[in-house]
Structure 1
Amino acid sequence: MIDTFDVIVIGGGAIGLATAYNLAGNKAKTLVLERFTFLNELGSSAGVSRQFRIPYPEPYMVEMALKATPLWDALQEETDKPLREFVGTLWFGDPTVHSTEGNIGAAETALQAKKVKFTTLKARDIEERFNFRDLPSTYVGLFQPNGASIDLKATIETLLQASQASPHVTLKEDSRVVGIRQRGKTFEVSTRHGTYTCEKLVLTPGPYIDEVVRLLGFETKLIYWNMSSCYFKKTDPNVTYPTWFVFQNPVHTNGNQFYGFPEVSWDRPGYIRTAPDFVMKPLTEPSQRTSVPNVDELRYTSEWVRRHMRGLDPKPHFATTCFVALSEEQNKELIIDFAPPYVHNHTNIVIYATGWAGKFVPLIGRILSDLTLHGRTDYDISEFRMGDKIFAPL
């Protein structure tokens, strides 16, 4: 006897569970298949903290952050654990730099367009207010007070517990998908433990997306990154930081852009996390993923901390990695679309691929649920409908 569902979600990370959470709210009989175990750190859900921020260089991304806010508030009602700690967001650095994160001036314009309040800062203001030091006098910054550190682990646990409690959701881990067949309007999804059928598919396997979509006859154009992350011990207990990002020009192989998180109770209290926003040796396939950071990336990060941050031991006491796939399309972090038209029944296959979406978890879960159940969403996702550019037939 084959179990039948309305929807099968392939990938049980933050986005997959957020989708199941919203599908359950619509009473859709849902199966979530996770290739590893739930709450694993083998994909882009690795690491405990994420940044919630409103500054972006594009108005549509600012709008995404604003739309996500009430959905974060609603998810918070599901748990007593704080999912976000509001510490503010600081963007600073060389105002002429255009990076993968955009440009400071463009972010100011986008915030103004959406009537979001922020403070403009000079280099000395940044040093005096936020404990940075020895910044070039030409650096500028903006501070937006609604930025937060997201407790990603607690977020995923909340979504998992809500799914476990729902009569509409079935969860199966250690369930790598090895086959997808179509019979008319029905999908047959096979794992080594069994076969399940459904009318709708949602694909949210993170950087393992190609392993799944190749079963449907196409693949993606992606770049794989094994991002490093370091924890620096506080030597001054009174030093605090917001979430932050610094814009600087590359120096040879050093991308020279870094971002960081404040001390939080849920992620190594007494330590500040700082990470390089560049990868010196990109990967070509998921099997190359490792938990060991690139030593040169760690060295550059330690040197930046030593030169520019107060109250920290510049030696990283802990180091981790986060494995993520990014689109080859420049400045397109998130891809949300249906399967390409040459795939049979393509409008019943909804795909989330690439990028970091920790700050948008409840919103993307709502969007994917809308697309799955109704074929449309009230949220503007025109900038993320990039399947025609990143999906290619085998």
Structure 2
Amino acid sequence: MKTKYDVIVIGGGSIGLATANELGKRKASTLVLEKYRFLNQDGSSAGYSRQFRIPYPEEYMVKMAVEALPYWKELEAETGEKLLDTVGTLWFGDPSVHSTEGNIGEAEKSLQKQKVKYTALSAAEVEKQYHFKNLPVTYKGLFQPDGAIIDLALTLKTLLSLNKKHESVTLQENSPVTDIQYKDKVFYITTPHGKYEAEKLVLTPGPYINDVLNLLGFDINVTYWEMSSAYFKKLKPEIQYPTWFVFQNPKGDNGNQFYGFPGVDWDYPGYIRVAPDFVIKPLTDPNQRTGKPNPQELAFTAEWVKKYMEGLSPEPEFTSTCLIALSNIKDKELVLDFAPDNVEGYENIVIYGTGWAAKFIPLLGKIMSQLTLDGSTPYDIAPFQLGYKYFNAIVQQ
């Protein structure tokens, strides 16, 4: 195995593999280093499904989601795989609530400004059309038809397969990075398998972001959520749900925010996945993850399903977790940036740091590859270039 590359990608999850695929298309000699095995269940790429949705309270996020959709279609066409199941996105609930997902009214305004089609709904219309029940009459909703459920497991397999076809891409798993040095415009990377060199780095280690940034002398202010999911059996097979979020005020430990998916044949057929969009106790370190859902979070979820959803068994039969790093800033923005300028070689270190980004996977791969090889991208990423605010130098003792 050779040791010198144009680019080394640290982190072989969805964003790292999407970036490597784009680098491979441009014939850049690329090494992808994955801490665990590829397709693992230890980070933010764990699980089977994610939501693709266009509603956001920020207009620039709506624009980015719209821009991402053609890249999904391109990836599907290139591979012959169906990665998105288009079922629409339903947002409903208390119109006054501002949650980690945003606010319904602000999302409507952003959709209107970007000329994205949607339908406004009353609580009664949400119940009649989408199989919910007992909703407060004051609840409002919106339905956006381009929303979809992402087959995340197949997306990862597809990207891994594409990278294996690129002669210029080398994939290495079980390779945690233990040291990064910079000398004469070259990065020297150490792993248990050996040492490697490259002029450019891409950092996409998911929730283990600070394990890598610490090697460069800085970190990012984050919190870690080990998020729970539950699968409820369909008692009425004909019932189908879109992807959805409900906006409600917290009640004590119950964050009272939930989201869900349709039933699909590749993610527990005959079941509906519903998850709490909150954690009762965030982690301070990703290595604190247990792989076990919080029982209280699952109980709150089951209680909500029983009261407000039709055609489902009231108790979950299957569960799962996913670990994610979220920046400690309002609205949990994505952080996509170069390293801070006090780090040697910063202009050749591209970082994707935090946030929920599955819906942007192929677009982020394109953007990250452009930043890496060209030093810029035609896409407007200014709202995500937040490193100057949230990267922190580590003070040596």
Q: Check whether TM > 0.5.
A: yes
After superposition, give the CA deviation of every residue in 1:95-127 in whole Å (9 maximum; x if it has no partner). Answer: 011111110000000000000010000000000
Report the CA distance between 1:189 and its aligned residue. 0.5
User: What percentage of residue pairs aligned between the two structures are identical?
Assistant: 60
After superposition, give the CA deviation of every residue in 1:297-350 in whole Å (9 maximum; x if it has no partner). Answer: 000000000000000001010111110000011114310000011001100000
The aligned counterpart of 1:104 is 104
Alignment of 1:1-394 (within 5 A): 3-394=3-394
In structure 2, what is the Cα distance between the partners aligned to 1:309 and 1:368?
A: 40
SS in 1 for 2:50: strand
SS in 2 for 1:149: strand
Gaps spanning 5+ residues in structure 1: where?
none
- AA aligned opposite 1:255: G
- AA aligned opposite 2:212: V
1:11 touches 1:205 (CA, 8 Å); kept in 2? yes
After superposition, give the CA deviation of every residue in 1:199-226 in whole Å (9 maximum; x if it has no partner). Answer: 0000000000111111111111000101
SS in 1 for 2:314: strand
1:78 touches 1:158 (CA, 8 Å); kept in 2? no
- AA aligned opposite 1:311: G
1:227 touches 1:293 (CA, 8 Å); kept in 2? yes
SS in 2 for 1:316: coil
- AA aligned opposite 1:134: N
SS in 1 for 2:78: coil
CA RMSD of aligned residues (A): 0.8
Report the CA distance between 1:81 and its aligned residue. 2.4
2:121 touches 2:140 (CA, 8 Å); kept in 1? yes
Give the aligned length: 394
- AA aligned opposite 1:209: I
After superposition, give the CA deviation of every residue in 1:68-103 in whole Å (9 maximum; x if it has no partner). Answer: 011111111232321000000000000011111110
- AA aligned opposite 2:241: Y
Q: Larger deviation: 369-378 or 69-78?
A: 69-78
1:177 touches 1:189 (CA, 8 Å); kept in 2? yes
- AA aligned opposite 1:373: L
SS in 2 for 1:81: coil
- TM-score normalised by L of structure 1: 0.99
After superposition, give the CA deviation of every residue in 1:328-387 in whole Å (9 maximum; x if it has no partner). Answer: 111143100000110011000000011121100001111100100011000000000010
Poorly superposed stretches of 4+, deviation over 4 Å? none
In structure 2, what is the Cα distance between the partners aligned to 1:252 and 1:35?
A: 38
- AA aligned opposite 2:185: K
- AA aligned opposite 1:249: N
SS in 2 for 1:95: coil
Q: Larger deviation: 75-84 or 368-377?
A: 75-84
In structure 2, what is the Cα distance between the partners aligned to 1:77 and 1:23?
A: 19
1:12 touches 1:38 (CA, 8 Å); kept in 2? yes
2:100 touches 2:332 (CA, 8 Å); kept in 1? no
1:204 touches 1:353 (CA, 8 Å); kept in 2? yes
SS in 1 for 2:330: coil
SS in 2 for 1:370: helix
In structure 1, what is the Cα distance between the partners aligned to 2:216 and 2:363?
A: 27
After superposition, give the CA deviation of every residue in 1:208-252 in whole Å (9 maximum; x if it has no partner). Answer: 011111111111100010101000000001111000000000011
SS in 2 for 1:365: helix
1:234 touches 1:311 (CA, 8 Å); kept in 2? yes
1:62 touches 1:111 (CA, 8 Å); kept in 2? yes
SS in 2 for 1:159: helix
1:96 touches 1:103 (CA, 8 Å); kept in 2? yes
Report the CA distance between 1:253 and its aligned residue. 1.2
- AA aligned opposite 1:185: K
Gaps spanning 5+ residues in structure 2: where?
none
Report the CA distance between 1:2 and its aligned residue. 6.1
In structure 1, what is the Cα distance between the partners aligned to 2:73 and 2:186?
A: 36
- AA aligned opposite 1:52: F
